[in-house]
Amino acid sequence: MHFKTELQQRTNEVQAIVEAYLPKETGHQKTIFESMNYSVMVGGKRLRPLLMQETYRLFGGKGREVEPFMAAMEMMHSASLVHDDLPAMDNDEYRRGKHTTWVEYGEDMAILAGDALMVYCFETALKAGAMTEHTDRVLRAASILAEKSGIYGMIGGQTVDVELTNKPIPREKLDFIYRLKTGALLEGSMLIGAVLAGASKAEEEKVLSIAQDVGLAFQIQDDILDVIGDQGVIGKPVHSDEKNNKTTYVTLEGLEQAKKEVGVLSERAIETLNSLPYENGFLTELIRMLVNREK
């Protein structure tokens, strides 16, 4: 099967899984359900749950306990985007070609929607405990989700990013921001997949290394697309980093060096993946696609 066809098929499968775990839009508080669901269903490539599922399969995982975690990770990622887009943060009105949550539902409801998704994602993830005998793996996976989302992960990275807005950022701090703000959820996705499938500690370390390289390459490519991308293709405003006076890999290293860095990181990630005694050709191609995407 052609990779793009297979990617679309598997993305559709992931989409159905994520959708199945979203709350029903009924009751007195249905506005929060509607805004949560809008935030998750507004679009997106479902990369994190897809990476989780494929890593789970790489290590021989065959059950369904990975599915609640796939949905949970997409909820956490969506929550971060809802908050990122707020007027107090990046003040973006469009994401994935549609109005951002605060534009559609108001700033107050967008804040609540982001908060609600962050809590509901753990309620969702822990449903995996009833789907496997390996409850120890479920607890460990939930711990990874919390760590990679919180003050030592995504939120920690966002904090430094916000504090340094309109200020020059040295390479060391930029690496830190990217590793936590963007990379942490990608790391968490792949690591959770490995843990739920019963990978060894040594194998987990390799997965972490792969995810770190992919996460950094992904964010650098995002910087590149902000400069040379087409809003009609990528679904969000371009030159927003320049507008917000943000330091990026492109502003620090230049466009050509940023492109070279993406290439080095992606090849290293593939080499590490190939060093594992398992094979998942789709995962290999998925990683290549992620870091060389045009949207």
Largest Cα span, the chain: 53
Of 42, 87, 49, nearest in space to 66 by CA: 49
Tell me how crowded residue 46 is: count the other CB atoms within 10 A of its CB: 22
The C-alpha atoms of residue 283 and residue 295 are separated, in whole angstroms, by 19
Is the per-residue pLDDT at 237 higher than 60? no
- In this prediction, residue 75 carries a pLDDT of 98
DSSP H helical segments within the chain, as ranges? 3-20, 30-41, 47-58, 66-84, 101-105, 107-125, 135-149, 154-163, 171-177, 183-197, 201-228, 231-234, 240-243, 249-253, 255-274, 281-291
Is the per-residue pLDDT at 27 higher than 60? yes
Map tokens 């109005």 to a residue: 99
| Confidence class for position 230, pLDDT limits 50, 70, 90 | low
What pTM was computed for the model? 0.92
Backbone φ, ψ for residue 195 (5° rounding): -65, -45
For residue 98, the surrounding DSSP H or E stretch is strand 98-99
- In this prediction, residue 236 carries a pLDDT of 47
| Confidence class for position 228, pLDDT limits 50, 70, 90 | confident
The answer to whether the beta carbons of residues 229 and 97 sit under 8 Å apart is no
Q: What are the tens digits of pLDDT across the range 167-178?
A: 889 889 999 999
